[in-house]
Amino acid sequence: MMKFEQTFNDFLLQHQERHNRTHHFLILMDALISSAKHIQHYYLTGALKGNLGSAGEVNVQNEDVMRMDQIAQEITIHYLRSSNRVIHAVSEESKEIVQINPEGRYFVYFDPLDGSSNIPHGLPVGFLFGIAKRNLEGPEDGHLRAGKDYIAAGMFVIPTGTFTLALKDAGTWRFHIDETMTFVRPTRMMLPEDTKSWELSFNTSNRLTFAKGVQNWIAQNEKEYAFRYLGALAGDFHRTLANGGMFMYPAIVNHPNPKKNRPQGKLRLMYEAAVVAFMCREAGGDAVDETGTPILGIHPKDPHQRTAIYVGSKPLVADITRVLRS
């Protein structure tokens, strides 16, 4: 008797019934999964086809745009349009909010290829997304949603093809990819309580530019935990979810060249920080900004606003929050 794995669609249909979700969500998820698979194909063949280089342009954050960023953006907007379920999309690769279908049901906030410093080397990058739903009871003003109002958030680690999805009040689930490129075997992710596997993840070359309190906290704690840093949020947070510990991208406030200070942080709130914060909450963890304020409670004023982030196991986030609030 052949054994068949539970597929993502089976899992979502079960979830739908339990949470009386409609087929609309399934169609949107199908568009996001198709986007990630298509981007993965281009990334895997990127070196051969010469797509891993710079596109010779700068984006809304005044950063060098990679050819793959453009390809990933084009692919994602294509599939979101064809789903016909999206009102508008906020993307790292588009200065303006991308208006799609005013009759749509969802808002999508995404980073089509996160971890740009890894792209030229074909190393792991990520596709990050957050989803919010329109107001079905009354008028909809299209305002930018805080992370706590997302109904789902997820990430694909490219090119390893791992997919992790968090659903509001229904947990964070990791899916494996089978020989037919189908996501199967949903596995519930809960941050481990046992501190033995915990890791710290941050760009250590920035540590002397962090706030003194943060530098002291790292000096006191780093000998307790292993240190790992890939330089791509999706990859680093993928580990934090599995092993526990904390990923942090603190504010840069003591840089010898004051022009390089980033008191507001580096990562983008809506399609990077709120995405991992949502997934972390559903896996039993927590996430705060440089003032110790919960990331999910921050109401975005600008689609591309930045934030510092400390995300991971509750005891560690609580510990650093004491320092940040002092």
Question: Which residues contact ligand FBP (rule: CB under 6 A)?
Answer: 63, 92, 111, 114-117, 203, 231-233, 249, 267
Shortest Cβ 180–ligand FBP spacing (Å): 30
Tokens found for residue 27: 């169609």
CB nearer to ligand FBP: pick between 76 and 83: 76
Least spacing, CB of residue 128 vs ligand FBP, in Å: 9
- In the complex, the smallest distance separating the C-beta of residue 276 from ligand FBP, rounded to whole angstroms, is 10
Which has the closest alpha carbon to 297: 150, 147, 152?
Answer: 147
User: Cα(74)–Cα(60) distance, rounded to whole angstroms?
Assistant: 16
Smaller CB separation from ligand FBP, 92 or 282: 92
Q: Closest distance between ligand FBP and the C-beta of residue 173, in Å?
A: 22
Q: Which is nearer to ligand FBP, 12 or 275 (CB)?
A: 275
Amino acid at 297: G
92 closest CA partner among 234, 205, 207? 234
Residue (131 or 232) nearer to ligand FBP, CB: 232
The nearest distance, CB 278 to ligand FBP, in angstroms, is: 17
Q: Which is nearer to ligand FBP, 267 or 295 (CB)?
A: 267
Nearest distance from C-beta of residue 284 to ligand FBP, angstroms: 22
Question: CA-CA distance, 85 to 80, in Å (whole number)?
Answer: 7
Which spans in the chain are helix H? Answer: 8-18, 23-44, 46-49, 67-83, 212-221, 233-243, 274-282, 314-325
Q: 87 or 90, CB closer to ligand FBP?
A: 90
Residue 315: is the preceding peptide bond cis (ω within 30°)? Answer: no
Does residue 311 contact residue 279 with C-beta atoms inside 8 Å? Answer: no
- For residue 197, which amino acid is it? S
Q: Which of these, 185, 257, 248, lies nearest to 5 by C-alpha position?
A: 185
| Closest by CA position to 68, among listed 124, 129, 130 | 124
Q: Are strands 245-249 and 267-268 parallel, antiparallel or unpaired?
A: unpaired
Please, what is the minimum distance in Å from the beta carbon of residue 307 to ligand FBP? 12
Which residue, among 141, 149, 138, has the nearest Cα to 109 in the 3D structure? 149
Q: Whose Cβ is closer to ligand FBP: residue 54's or residue 203's?
A: 203
